[in-house]
A = this chain, B = another copy of it.
Amino acid sequence: MRQQPTEGDQVAGRPQERSRTIADVAARAGVSPSTVSRVINGTARVDESLAAKVRAAAAELDYTASPLARSLVLGRTSTVAVVVPDLENPTFHGVLRGLSRAAAREGYHVLVADSAESVAEERILAVETRRRCDGIVLCAPRMPEEELRHLLTQLQPVVLVNREARSSVTPAVSADYRSGLTDLLELLRLQGHRTLLHLAGAPQSSSHQQRLAAVRAFSAEHPEVAVQVVPCGVNFADGHRAADDVVRSAATGVLAFNDLVAMGLMSALSDRGVRVPEDVSVTGFDDIPFARYLTPPLTTASVPVAELGEQAWHRMAELLGSRAPGHAISFRPRLEERGSTGPAPGRRAEAAS
């Protein structure tokens, strides 16, 4: 095959021969492979004189055990996978980063798979990827509940991020989008806004449902405030495009699906001469790193994305250690009131008094 019978394999610049095996070390140390394994893994007592020889031989040959071979026999890979709908989204960056660092601390590696927002892809990808690791973390899977529940059974151990599966024991860590949006709605109400607009995101996403629930509850409690919901999208361009809808709506407060949408919106509003927050107050969601540096700084609900990832790892670690799985946990976003929100127009004097 690749290994031609010719001896001339010594291509210059390829000094890396075939990797050393445990047998090489054993031969050099004059012991059996079993003993080498025992010394390296500290898995049983070995006479100190032999152990020393083994360690010396291993060092000389620069030997480390093949993770592949170990994985095969041990039945674990020390790897977990993360499936995200879109690597471009800062939220998933954060999750990935938090998870990756937490996992690394315990010697685990991270396999990443990007489903590119395709529901069909999502499932295949998860199943396929799952076979190469010990467990899998699903970020905000878009698939329908029923399919998800079925998938979960064949993916064990699995942890969900920003999505819960009802009547399932699968651990889930998520942000409480409902209470986050409620806080934002409440903030705008107290500032005197009576006509609000929510720019909604991916309809299949769990966080979208949570936000709708927040709007419904809020409307029921505060009938004096009108809250309109219009579909929009999840990214910058979507927010930019929504500017006309916003202007037409005559709303004085806009709750964007997330910070990206809010930024796009604010940029487009500025082009049209609409002032934020004097004419319209705008809120985001997530508190991506850029939010506080915008002009004006963006009022938002801060979601600790890295911590989400870190907690997802902890859940996974529990599962891998066959410890008690731990129940679903949810982070309540922190309200970050900044410059993009202010008193409703016409309420200014009133608020100032």
Contact = CB atoms under 8 A, between A and B. Distances in A.
Interface of A: 2, 13-16, 64, 66-69, 71-72, 77, 79, 87-88, 93, 96-97, 100-101, 104, 109-114, 116, 129, 131-132, 153-154, 156, 169, 236, 240, 263-264, 266-267, 270, 289-290, 293-295, 297, 322
Nearest to A270: B295
A125 to B, nearest CB: 8
A156 B100 contact: no
Contacts of A79: 111, 132
Contacts of A293: 236, 240, 263-264, 266-267
B64 A131 contact: yes
B289 A267 contact: no
A294 B290 CA distance: 10
> Chain copies in the assembly?
2
Contact of A153 (B2, B16, B77): B16
A236 B289 contact: yes
A116 B101 CA distance: 8
B101 A96 contact: no
A88 B288 CA distance: 11
A111 B104 CA distance: 12
Given A87-B97, A293-B267, A132 B109 contact: yes
Given A68-B71, A293-B264, A114 B109 contact: no
A114, A290, A295: most-surrounded residue (chain B CB, <10 A): A290
A199 to B, nearest CB: 16
Given A96-B112, A97-B114, A132 B68 contact: yes
**Max chain B C-beta neighbours (<10 A), residue from A87, A93, A113, A264:** A87
Given A72-B68, A113-B109, A290 B270 contact: no
A109 B110 CA distance: 11
Contacts of A69: 72
Contact of A16 (B2, B64, B154): B154
Contacts of A104: 113-114
A15 B153 contact: yes
Contact of A236 (B14, B110, B114, B290): B290
Contacts of A100: 87, 112-114
B290 A131 contact: no
Given A16-B154, A111-B111, A67 B295 contact: no
A216 B304 CA distance: 43
A83 to B, nearest CB: 11
Contact of A14 (B2, B109, B156, B295): B156
A16 B87 CA distance: 30
B236 A67 contact: no
A289 B322 CA distance: 42
